[in-house]
Structure 1
């Protein structure tokens, strides 16, 4: 999503952001989001399925190279400089033109244009000083984040992921602190806490059901975990978002 005009707030996974022109937001399936926009707003939104590129790209893992598609809020909100905003806006306009033609071949053109947006943003991020850590370290951390996404329901310790990555827990922690600014254990806990928040706003589920789905066999332990790392109890969180 690209804002070209407007103001207000936008909340993704319970993180509130101030909307301003030239901001791009990337979201992935499962994220919780809400709007509180004021005034005259304009921009572009594109929704596509996770399988949209499968028949087009040789590697189904291709999109995982883009950090802004990892579902981590801090890395998925990008403010574009003016020259880049103009370039990206032109690509959005081209996508709209192709979509209106409603021809099978044009779906491939839309895929090409979407990839152009991703590659252009990725190139922009790579030019920023804070993004210049590259090579095997970044690959390891991305693999760690992907593994956490797959296994956080049942694997809660850094050593579990270090084993899957064929490195030591100390090495994983050092890499996590160096690149993500936090230890590996915190990355895992934050993912569990986020999923708990996502499920707690589904009022069809009881708190005990949420705890069980996340691998907490003891409801009281889930409450202690949530309050320790979330600052409030699950009941208070649910009431706050009712």
Structure 2
């Protein structure tokens, strides 16, 4: 960008006119597509063919064919690539419509977890045909829903997510980064997302599990390679970067919104964790 003013980062609503939609990637092009933007819902981007790059939360990824990106609500991304493929949008409410769904459908929280380091999933040639078949089934049912259409789409989506998780684990094995799962860490993510702007002490989160801070740190370290404090600081810094880069808010306003009382302390906190001051980060983003 050529000017020194940041822009309020937009939430792209299209094409989610309901709680679920599926479309070819080419149809998902709007005025927002090539700008940093984010969504209120979960998004699956499957690039069957791609050339260029894709930015997710300030990191650019060089594109390859059969690359799958899983985006949580609020993640910032930007497309700068030639592409073919499919995009799926859905809300958590669509997937878990009631208590019965919570008990019978796959919990995708771990699949969209980026605590092991965010990265796309490379889809193997043996899995791609199965995913393509599920995309076709979801598209057909969504366009012309019959009896129990919503439930049928959810089960097709469920199968798609299960295959994606298997590919994610295969990718981790190929790169010698085995993934560990602990339901308490999934719950911790939800607590952090809800309270990170107000609760900055590990004791608050440990109390929610009736654990000592030391024990909760041991669990998260084993599962994610990070302590609770590191996970919390990572989340605060990410939100600070989003606001510095994509809003008109002052550093002082961002400081207060993230639960800090002293702007000078917040600036030191940001620099210690990001390696650069808040103002310098904003200036670099808009050179």
**TM-score, normalised to structure 1's length?**
0.86
The total of aligned residue pairs comes to 237
1:22 aligns to 2:66 (yes or no):
yes
**What is residue 52 of structure 1 aligned with on the other side?**
94
Q: Is the 8 A contact 2:122 2:167 kept in 1?
A: no
Quote the RMSD (CA, aligned, Å).
2.4
Question: Is this contact kept in 2: 1:31–1:71, CA < 8 A?
Answer: no
Q: Deviations over 1:92-149 (max 9, x none)?
A: 1222222332557433332221111112223444566554635xxx112222222211
User: What is the aligned partner in structure 2 of residue 79 from structure 1?
Assistant: 122
Which residue among 124, 134, 147 is the counterpart of 1:91? 134
Aligned to 1:219: 263
Matched, 1:184 2:228: yes
Partner of 2:180 in structure 1? 133
The equivalences for 1:1-242 within 5 A come to: 1-37=45-81, 40-55=82-97, 58-60=100-102, 64-70=107-113, 72=115, 74-75=117-118, 77-101=120-144, 105-125=148-168, 129=173, 130-131=177-178, 133-134=180-181, 138-242=182-286
The answer to whether the 8 A contact 2:70-2:112 is kept is yes
Query: Which runs of no fewer than 5 residues in structure 1 stay unpaired?
Result: none
Query: Does the 8 Å CA contact 2:202/2:229 hold for their aligned counterparts?
Result: yes
- Equivalent residues of 2:267, 2:278 under 8 A apart: yes
- When residues 220 and 100 of structure 1 are mapped into structure 2, their CA distance, relative to the original with a 3 A threshold, is same
Larger CA deviation: 197-206 vs 104-113:
104-113
1:59, CA displacement in angstroms? 4.6
Tell me by how many angstroms 1:11 deviates.
1.2
Q: Residues 195 and 112 (structure 1 numbering): CA distance in 2 closer, same or farther, change over 3 Å?
A: same
The structure whose RCO (Cα within 8 Å, separation 6+) is larger is 2
The unaligned stretches of length 5 or more in structure 2 are 1-44
- Secondary structure of the residue aligned to 1:112 is helix
Cα offset for 1:58? 2.0
Deviations 1:156-207 (A, max 9, x none): 2222211211112221222222211122211110011111112222333222
CA distance in 2, matches of 1:132, 1:11: 24
**Cα distance in 1 between the residues matched to 2:258 and 2:248:** 16
- Decide whether aligned partners of structure 1 residues 64 and 72 sit closer, same or farther in structure 2, where only a CA change above 3 A counts: farther
The TM-score, its normalising length taken from structure 2, stands at 0.74
Question: Following the alignment from structure 1 to structure 2, what is the Cα–Cα distance between the partners of residues 234 and 30?
Answer: 21
Q: 1:75 to 1:230 in 2, by over 3 A?
A: closer
